[in-house]
Structure 1
Amino acid sequence: MRATSKIFTSLTLVFLLLLGSAYRPFDEGMFPLSEIHNLDLKKAGLKISQREIYNPDSISLIDALVNVGGCTGSFISEEGLIITNHHCAFSAVQQASTPENDYLTKGFVARSKEQEIEAKGLTCRITDSYEDVSAQVLASVTNVTDPASRIKIINEKMQSLAAQAEAEDKTIKAEVSEMFIGKTYVLFRYKTIQDVRLVYVPSRNIGEFGGETDNWVWPRHTGDFAFMRAYVAPDGSSAKFSKSNVPYKPKKHLKVNANGVNEEDFVFILGYPGRTFRNRPAQYIKYQQDYLLPYISELYDFQNKAMEEAGKKDKSTEIKLATRIKRNANVLKNYRGKLKGLNGLNLSEQKKQDDLALAQFINANVELKGKYGNLMSEIDRLYNLIYSDAYRDLWLSQIYTSTSLLNIAGQINGFRAAMNRRPAADRAKFYSDNVATLESRIRTMYNSYDIDADRTIFTKMLKDAAQLPKNQRIAAVDKQALKGFNSQEQIDKFVSNLLAYTRLKDPEFVLNSLIKSSRSLSDYNDPLLLFEGEIAQQTAELLPEKEKREGLLNKLMGDYVAVKEQFKQQNFIPDANSTLRLTYGYVRGYSPADATYMKPFTSISGILQKGSTGNPEYNYPPVLKELWQAKNFGPFVKNELNDVPVAFLYNLDTTGGNSGSPVMNAYGELIGVNFDRAYEATINDFAWNESYSRSIGVDIRYVLWVASKVDKADFLLKEIGVN
Structure 2
Amino acid sequence: MNKKTLLFTALLVFGILQSGYTPPEEGMFPLSELHKLDLKKAGLKIDQKEIYNPNGTSLVDALVNVGGCTGSFISNEGLIITNHHCAFSAVQLASTPENDYLNKGLVAKSKEEEIEAKGLTCRITDSYEDVSNRVLGAVAQITDPSSRLQLINNTMKNIVNEAEQKDPTIKAEVSEMFIGKTYVLFRYKTILDVRLVYVPNRQIGEFGGETDNWVWPRHTGDFSFMRAYVSKDGKPTKYSKDNVPYTPKKFLKVNANGTDEEDFVFILGYPGRTFRHRPSEFITYQQKFVLPYTSELYDFQNQTMENAGKKDKRIEIKLATRIKRNANVMKNYRGKLQGLRGIDLIGQKKQEDAALAEFINNNVAEKAKYGNLMKDIDELYKVINGDANRDLWLSQIYNSTSLLAVSRNINNFKTALDAQPAAQKQGFFDQNINQVKQALSNSYSSFELDVDKTILKRMLNDAAAFSPQQKVNAVNKITSKGSNSAALIDQFIKHTFELSKLKNQDYVLNILLKNPKSISAYQDALLQLEQDLNKQIAALKPEKDRREGLLNKLMGDYVNVKEKFLKKDFIPDANSTLRLTYGYVRGYWPADATYMKPYTTIKGIIEKGATGNPDFGYPETIKTLWNAKDFGPFAKKDLNDVPVSFLYNMDTTGGNSGSPIMNANGELIGVNFDRAYGATINDYAWNESYSRSIGVDIRYVLWVATKIDKADFLIKEIGIKL
TM-score category, normalised to shorter length: over 0.9
Tell me, what secondary structure is at the counterpart of 2:571?
coil
Alpha-carbon deviation of 1:299?
Answer: 0.3
1:574 matched to 2:572: yes
Aligned AA for 1:413?
N
Calculate the aligned-residue CA RMSD, in Å: 0.9
Structure 1 residues 712-723: aligned runs within 5 Å: 712-723=710-721
Alpha-carbon deviation of 1:517?
Answer: 2.0
Q: In structure 2, what is the equivalent of residue 8 of structure 1?
A: none
Distance (whole Å) between structure 2 residues aligned to residue 423 and residue 178 of structure 1: 39
Q: Does the C-alpha gap of structure 1 residues 108 and 408 become closer, same or farther in structure 2, counting only changes over 3 Å? A: same
Aligned AA for 1:369?
K
Distance (whole Å) between structure 2 residues aligned to residue 559 and residue 99 of structure 1: 56
Q: In structure 2, what is the equivalent of residue 221 of structure 1?
A: 219
CA contact (8 A) 1:23 1:39 kept: no
1:52 matched to 2:50: yes
Structure 1 residues 105-504: aligned runs within 5 Å: 105-484=103-482, 486-504=484-502
Distance (whole Å) between structure 1 residues aligned to residue 585 and residue 661 of structure 2: 10
Distance (whole Å) between structure 2 residues aligned to residue 516 and residue 264 of structure 1: 64
Alpha-carbon deviation of 1:522?
Answer: 1.5
CA shift digits 1:199-244 (9 cap, x unpaired): 0000110000000000000000000000000000000000000000
Tell me, what secondary structure is at the counterpart of 1:591?
strand
Alpha-carbon deviation of 1:390?
Answer: 0.2
CA shift digits 1:299-338 (9 cap, x unpaired): 0000000000111121100000000000000000000000
Q: In structure 2, which of residues 75, 99, 102 is the aligned counterpart of residue 101 of structure 1?
A: 99
Shift >6 Å, 4+ stretches: none
Alpha-carbon deviation of 1:81?
Answer: 0.2
Alpha-carbon deviation of 1:487?
Answer: 3.9
Q: In structure 1, what is the equivalent of residue 4 of structure 2?
A: none
Alpha-carbon deviation of 1:491?
Answer: 1.8
Distance (whole Å) between structure 1 residues aligned to residue 673 and residue 377 of structure 2: 36
CA shift digits 1:83-104 (9 cap, x unpaired): 0000000000000000000000
Tell me, what secondary structure is at the counterpart of 1:597?
strand
Aligned AA for 1:117?
I
Matched positions, count: 702
CA shift digits 1:351-373 (9 cap, x unpaired): 01110111111011111111101
Tell me, what secondary structure is at the counterpart of 2:588?
coil
Aligned AA for 1:348?
I
CA shift digits 1:114-138 (9 cap, x unpaired): 0001000000000001111111111
Tell me, what secondary structure is at the counterpart of 1:191?
strand
Q: Does the C-alpha gap of structure 1 residues 100 and 107 become closer, same or farther in structure 2, counting only changes over 3 Å? A: same
Q: In structure 1, what is the equivalent of residue 66 of structure 2?
A: 68
- Segment of structure 1 superposing worse, 137-146 or 380-389: 137-146
Q: In structure 1, which of residues 66, 87, 93 is the aligned counterpart of residue 85 of structure 2?
A: 87
CA contact (8 A) 1:89 1:226 kept: yes
Q: In structure 2, what is the equivalent of residue 618 of structure 1?
A: 616
Tell me, what secondary structure is at the counterpart of 1:673?
strand
Distance (whole Å) between structure 1 residues aligned to residue 85 and residue 21 of structure 2: 35
Tell me, what secondary structure is at the counterpart of 2:346?
helix
Tell me, what secondary structure is at the counterpart of 2:590?
coil
Alpha-carbon deviation of 1:195?
Answer: 0.2
Aligned AA for 1:184?
T
Tell me, what secondary structure is at the counterpart of 1:638?
coil
Alpha-carbon deviation of 1:653?
Answer: 0.1
Q: In structure 1, what is the equivalent of residue 10 of structure 2?
A: none
Distance (whole Å) between structure 1 residues aligned to residue 389 and residue 418 of structure 2: 33
Distance (whole Å) between structure 1 residues aligned to residue 431 and residue 497 of structure 2: 31
CA contact (8 A) 2:82 2:223 kept: yes
CA contact (8 A) 2:587 2:648 kept: yes
Q: Does the C-alpha gap of structure 1 residues 140 and 26 become closer, same or farther in structure 2, counting only changes over 3 Å? A: closer
CA shift digits 1:593-640 (9 cap, x unpaired): 011000000000000000000000000000000010011100000011
Distance (whole Å) between structure 2 residues aligned to residue 483 and residue 499 of structure 1: 19
Tell me, what secondary structure is at the counterpart of 2:229?
strand
Alpha-carbon deviation of 1:156?
Answer: 1.0
Q: In structure 2, what is the equivalent of residue 511 of structure 1?
A: 509
CA contact (8 A) 2:464 2:485 kept: no
Distance (whole Å) between structure 2 residues aligned to residue 212 and residue 63 of structure 1: 34
1:78 matched to 2:73: no
Distance (whole Å) between structure 2 residues aligned to residue 360 and residue 421 of structure 1: 56
Q: In structure 2, what is the equivalent of residue 17 of structure 1?
A: none
CA shift digits 1:54-82 (9 cap, x unpaired): 00100000000000000000000000000
Aligned AA for 1:653?
D
Alpha-carbon deviation of 1:424?
Answer: 3.7
Unaligned runs of 5+ in 2: 1-19
CA contact (8 A) 2:270 2:656 kept: yes
CA contact (8 A) 2:479 2:488 kept: no
Alpha-carbon deviation of 1:511?
Answer: 1.3
Alpha-carbon deviation of 1:490?
Answer: 2.9
Tell me, what secondary structure is at the counterpart of 1:240?
coil
